[in-house]
């Protein structure tokens, strides 16, 4: 097996929603109230129910030279077109050698959390459904076989959420985004029966719950003086706290076919996590009343929890300590951690010591099975490899050279000291003030 023979499916990328994506899909009774893009103090800002709910360009730095990271886009003109235009996205996937992609939301929040706090729940539900329709019809279905569709749900109405899960699953959507800790957003914990209709609907309809890092428990800034590198380092591992919470939650025994994904969580930390979980259960269950039906916590984790990584050489050297059948790969386009346009080379350098069967599992087969996604039968396997896709991109003239001076908000930097958490927090606070309506 060679690099050009690999088939890559990314289970964690992001879409920057086009400015008009809600227009066609919002119900007639709510026309004029759909989320829209407005120019506010020189920024393209999403506005919904008179609230500026996020500037869509945050961290969409793909294509820039790394020296220009931190120059956050203020609008669509400051971003690579593949972030928001579906045709250009597919071309960028081809150039990167990537067959398939699951794209998390941006403006609504990675888990749709911004739609959960709108006072008028009817318009909020309408916006959620409009987003789902746009994401499936105008994004995923615009390039058949190239995307794993991902739905949002209304957390505030579990029965309506169950209906939305069924509606979208009937249309071929078998992934759902949810916060890894909804209590952060004012909702009951995952241990609460509030969520049972949702767990049941996911189980009944073969839908995976995808919990992206940063949607609930977040990596903490140690201090304003700490280099921002410290926060970036701990970001993926921060989901370990939520992973423990989910592992001890009751839904796995109620719905034994249910699965979840720790999106962008990495894999290198998991062997010790599982060792510690088993130790905790065996050492403490006599007084804590934990119960895994005679099994170990690691057995539940390995059965129910899908893991994914961007770069994780240590994890790939220790696959025997985790369930290789649940390991998947990601690119994270267009964020600053993404490996575009060299994802295939980086994947291959870290995975080439593995046998072909294992490479195929982590590169695409596990993702295809778990997310009910089968591009090979639609497109033909010979057209889905890194080599075939890059040949297509080359023929189309896709330019992957670094784009200099794309524009945006350049943070002030002192060349004599590292960029700190305080610097970044100040930049965000300034941006929030500029986008206030």
* Residue 138 predicted with pLDDT over 80: yes
pLDDT grade, residue 408 (50/70/90)?
Answer: confident
Confidence of residue 52 (pLDDT cuts 50, 70, 90): confident
Query: Which are the contacts of 249, defined by CB distance < 8 A and separation ≥ 6?
Result: 190, 191
Per-residue model confidence (pLDDT) at position 14: 97
pLDDT-derived band at 294, boundaries 50, 70, 90: very high
Give the pLDDT confidence score for residue 42 in this predicted structure: 83
∠ CA(90), CA(94), CA(97), 5° rounding? 135
pLDDT band, residue 409 (cuts 50/70/90):
confident
Among 326, 328, 298, 322, residue whose Cα is nearest residue 310? 328
Ramachandran category for residue 181: left, alpha or beta (phi over 0 → left; psi -120 to 50 → alpha): beta
Does the 3-435 domain belong in CATH 3.30.70.1520?
Answer: no
pLDDT tens figures, 112-135: 999 999 999 999 999 999 999 999
Flag whether pLDDT at 432 surpasses 70. Answer: no
- Examine the pLDDT at 416 and tell me if it is beyond 90: no
The pLDDT-based confidence of 317 (bands split at 50, 70, 90) is very high
pTM above 0.85, yes or no: yes
Instruction: For the chain, give every domain's residue range.
Output: 3-435
pLDDT digits (tens, 9 = 90+) for 231-263: 999 988 899 999 999 999 999 999 999 999 999
| Tens-digit pLDDT profile for residues 329-361 | 999 999 999 999 999 999 999 999 999 999 999
Confidence (pLDDT) at 41: 83
| Residue 426 scores a pLDDT above 90 | no
pLDDT band at 301 (very low <50, low <70, confident <90, very high): very high
Please give the Cα distance from 261 to 246 (Å, whole number): 11
Q: What is the pLDDT of residue 431?
A: 66
Q: Residue 382: is its pLDDT beyond 80?
A: yes
């Amino acid at each position: 097996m060679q690099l050009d023979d690999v088939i890559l499916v990314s289970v964690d990328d992001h879409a920057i929603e086009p400015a008009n994506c809600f227009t066609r899909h919002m119900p007639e009774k709510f026309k004029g109230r759909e989320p829209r893009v407005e120019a506010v103090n020189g920024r393209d800002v999403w506005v919904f129910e008179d609230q500026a709910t996020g500037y869509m360009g945050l961290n969409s730095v793909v294509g820039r030279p790394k020296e220009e990271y931190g120059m956050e886009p203020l609008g669509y003109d400051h971003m690579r077109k593949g972030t928001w235009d579906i045709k250009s996205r597919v071309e960028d996937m081809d150039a990167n050698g990537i067959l398939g992609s699951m794209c998390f939301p941006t403006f609504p929040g990675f888990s749709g959390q911004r739609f959960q706090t709108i006072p008028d729940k009817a318009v909020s539900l309408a916006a959620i459904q409009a987003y789902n329709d746009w994401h499936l019809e105008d994004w995923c279905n615009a390039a058949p076989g190239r995307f794993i569709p991902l739905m949002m749900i209304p957390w505030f109405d579990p029965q309506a959420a169950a209906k939305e899960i069924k509606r979208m699953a009937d249309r071929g959507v078998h992934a759902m985004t949810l916060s890894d800790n909804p209590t952060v957003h004012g909702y009951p914990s995952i241990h609460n029966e509030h969520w049972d209709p949702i767990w049941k609907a996911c189980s009944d309809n073969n839908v995976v719950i995808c919990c992206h890092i940063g949607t609930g428990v977040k990596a903490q800034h140690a201090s304003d003086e700490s280099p921002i590198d410290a926060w970036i380092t701990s970001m993926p591992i921060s989901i370990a706290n939520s992973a423990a919470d989910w592992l001890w939650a009751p839904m796995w025994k109620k719905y034994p076919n249910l699965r979840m994904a720790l999106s962008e969580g990495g894999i290198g930390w998991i062997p010790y996590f599982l060792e510690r979980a088993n130790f905790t259960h065996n050492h403490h269950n006599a007084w804590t009343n934990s119960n895994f039906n005679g099994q170990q916590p690691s057995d539940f984790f390995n059965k129910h929890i899908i893991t994914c990584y961007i770069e994780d050489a240590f994890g790939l050297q220790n696959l025997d300590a985790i369930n290789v059948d649940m390991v998947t790969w990601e690119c994270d386009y267009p964020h600053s951690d993404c490996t575009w346009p060299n994802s295939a080379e980086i994947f291959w350098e870290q995975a080439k010591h593995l046998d072909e069967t294992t490479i195929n599992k982590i590169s695409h087969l596990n993702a295809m099975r778990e997310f009910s996604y089968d591009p090979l039968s639609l497109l033909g396997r010979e057209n889905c490899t890194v080599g075939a896709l890059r040949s297509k991109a080359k023929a189309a003239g896709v330019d992957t050279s670094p784009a200099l001076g794309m524009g945006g908000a350049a943070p002030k930097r002192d060349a004599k000291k590292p960029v700190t958490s305080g610097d970044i927090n100040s930049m965000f606070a300034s941006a929030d003030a500029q986008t206030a309506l």
